[in-house]
């Protein structure tokens, strides 16, 4: 692009299908990848094979052999420090370098599969499929609730046939709880109507806070922590592209939670990893962590099942919504007062995608 060419200002995207490659995404849970295991993944339309070598290193390579284009994930074996193509046996190390061509002594220096930056942190495998020189490891967030022994956590994954921004919208607008999750986590429409909502943007992050003060404890809260009287509840959401951290909790009413005194009570940390596979498919990895009744394995199972049942309700809805939106993807939609976080988030995505477009133009 010439320096004088005008660059349009970021517009708020209505389409649910914008792919942002210059971003860290969670490709898999660490537990999914034992030494010697391989996984097929797709992130932002990039086919990948993930594998873990004998020494524990995790690699993310393009899932396409340089010889005849065979997907390495389709029967490829990881042995020692290499992955072997299932077709004619070419071998590649974790950096993508070809280390063996059966029957051929010389290996050309250019014989390599594209490798992608990968970081394993807090029980998650993060992959970057954008410009490699932009992959700043510092931007992979720390998530202490997956490693702090004061917390216990459980996790699961859903493959959602809907665009990643639809899932982002869903998680940032909690006014859907009382309608979509009536049979699971629900919410009292009258109480929810009293929620005090605020949203602020800080750089590439958005913070949404929702407070319900001095309200009767719902059955779930009573069962979890035995609240006897009214409670103050909060739902705090931190958005960054591809990731939403959700902190919900409650303490006895008027005990100062909103002013920062949150000792005791109930604390749940939900992590939502939103990984775009294609424009219309999303890998949704979520975890639930708690710091109460941490030795109660039955409760861990129950929370895992509850989270799965709840997010399947979202999945069913998002897939129908995706199909309807696809019929006319550029048509305007109406934002409501509950979308204050969503609007900030969509603006950030628009800016990041525009920046990515400029970067691609400049490298042409």
**Interacting residue ranges for ligand FES, rule: CB under 6 A:** 65, 67-68, 70, 85, 87-90
Structure tokens given for 244: 């939403």
Structure tokens given for 208: 């949404």
Minimum distance between the CB of residue 102 and ligand FES, rounded to whole angstroms? Answer: 8
Q: In what order do the strands lie in the sheet with 205-215?
A: 152-160, 281-290, 266-278, 243-252, 231-240, 205-215, 196-202
Using the rule CB under 5 A, is 314 a contact of Fe ion?
yes
> With CB cut-offs between 5 and 8 Å by kind, which of Fe ion, ligand FES, none does residue 314 bind?
Fe ion
**Closer CB to Fe ion, residue 319 or residue 355?**
319
Distance CA 23, CA 243 (A): 10
Minimum distance between the CB of residue 82 and ligand FES, rounded to whole angstroms? Answer: 13
Using the rule CB under 5 A, is 173 a contact of Fe ion?
no
Interacting residues of 35 by C-beta distance below 8 A, sequence separation 6+: 52, 53, 54, 55, 56
Task: Say if strands 124-128 and 152-160 run parallel, antiparallel, or are unpaired.
Answer: unpaired
Other Cβ atoms within 10 Å of 286 Cβ, number: 22
Using the rule CB under 5 A, is 169 a contact of Fe ion?
no
**Closer CB to Fe ion, residue 126 or residue 311?**
311
**Closer CB to ligand FES, residue 73 or residue 282?**
73
| Window 257-296: contact mask with Fe ion (x via CB under 5 A) | ----------------------------------------
Structure tokens given for 38: 């391989």
Distance CA 210, CA 200 (A): 12
Longest dimension (CA), the chain: 77
Minimum distance between the CB of residue 317 and Fe ion, rounded to whole angstroms? Answer: 8
**Closer CB to ligand FES, residue 75 or residue 189?**
75
Q: With CA atoms as reference, report the closest residue to 147 among 289, 298, 13, 318.
A: 289
Task: Considering only the stretches 63-71, 122-130, 298-306, 312-320, report the one whose residues sit in contact with Fe ion under the rule CB under 5 A.
Answer: 312-320
Residue 222 has phi, psi (to 5 degrees) of -65, -45
> With CB cut-offs between 5 and 8 Å by kind, which of ligand FES, Fe ion, none does residue 70 bind?
ligand FES
Minimum distance between the CB of residue 90 and ligand FES, rounded to whole angstroms? Answer: 4
**Closer CB to ligand FES, residue 49 or residue 162?**
49
**Closer CB to Fe ion, residue 277 or residue 314?**
314
**Closer CB to ligand FES, residue 71 or residue 276?**
71
**Do residues 235 and 270 touch, judged by C-beta distance below 8 A?**
no
Minimum distance between the CB of residue 170 and Fe ion, rounded to whole angstroms? Answer: 6
CA 315 to chain centroid, in Å, comes to: 14
> With CB cut-offs between 5 and 8 Å by kind, which of ligand FES, Fe ion, none does residue 359 bind?
none
Structure tokens given for 99: 């280390």
Residues interacting with Fe ion, by CB under 5 A? Answer: 314
């Amino acid at each position: 692009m010439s320096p004088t060419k005008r660059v349009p200002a970021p517009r708020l995207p209505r389409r649910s299908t914008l792919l942002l490659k210059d971003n860290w995404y969670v490709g898999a849970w660490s537990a999914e990848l034992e030494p010697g295991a391989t996984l097929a993944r797709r992130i932002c339309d990039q086919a990948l094979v993930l594998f873990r070598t004998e020494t524990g290193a995790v690699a993310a390579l393009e899932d396409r052999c340089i010889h005849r284009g065979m997907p390495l994930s389709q029967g490829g074996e990881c042995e020692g420090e290499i992955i072997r193509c299932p077709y004619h046996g070419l071998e590649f190390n974790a950096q993508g370098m070809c280390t063996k061509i059966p029957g051929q002594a010389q290996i050309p220096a250019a014989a390599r599969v594209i490798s992608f930056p990968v970081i394993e942190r807090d029980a998650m495998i993060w992959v970057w499929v954008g410009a490699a020189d932009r992959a700043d490891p510092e931007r992979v967030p720390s998530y202490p609730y997956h490693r702090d022994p004061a917390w216990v956590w459980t996790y699961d994954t859903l493959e959602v046939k809907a665009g990643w921004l639809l899932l982002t919208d869903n998680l940032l607008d909690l006014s859907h709880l009382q309608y979509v999750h009536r049979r699971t986590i629900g919410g009292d429409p009258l109480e929810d109507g009293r929620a005090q909502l605020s949203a602020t943007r800080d750089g590439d992050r958005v913070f949404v806070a929702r407070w319900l003060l001095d309200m009767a404890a719902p059955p779930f809260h009573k069962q979890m922590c035995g609240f006897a009287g009214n409670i103050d509840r909060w739902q705090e959401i931190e958005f960054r592209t591809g990731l939403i951290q959700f902190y919900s909790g409650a303490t006895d009413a008027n005990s100062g939670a909103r002013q920062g005194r949150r000792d005791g009570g109930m604390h749940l940390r939900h992590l939502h990893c939103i990984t775009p596979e294609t424009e219309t498919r999303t890998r949704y990895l979520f975890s639930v962590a708690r710091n109460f009744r941490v030795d109660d394995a039955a409760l861990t199972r129950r929370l895992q099942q509850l989270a799965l049942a709840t997010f399947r309700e979202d999945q069913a809805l998002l897939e129908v919504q995706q199909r309807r939106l696809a019929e006319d993807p550029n048509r305007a939609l109406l934002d409501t007062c509950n979308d204050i976080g969503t609007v900030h988030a969509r603006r950030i995505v628009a800016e990041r995608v525009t920046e990515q477009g400029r970067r691609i133009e400049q490298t042409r």
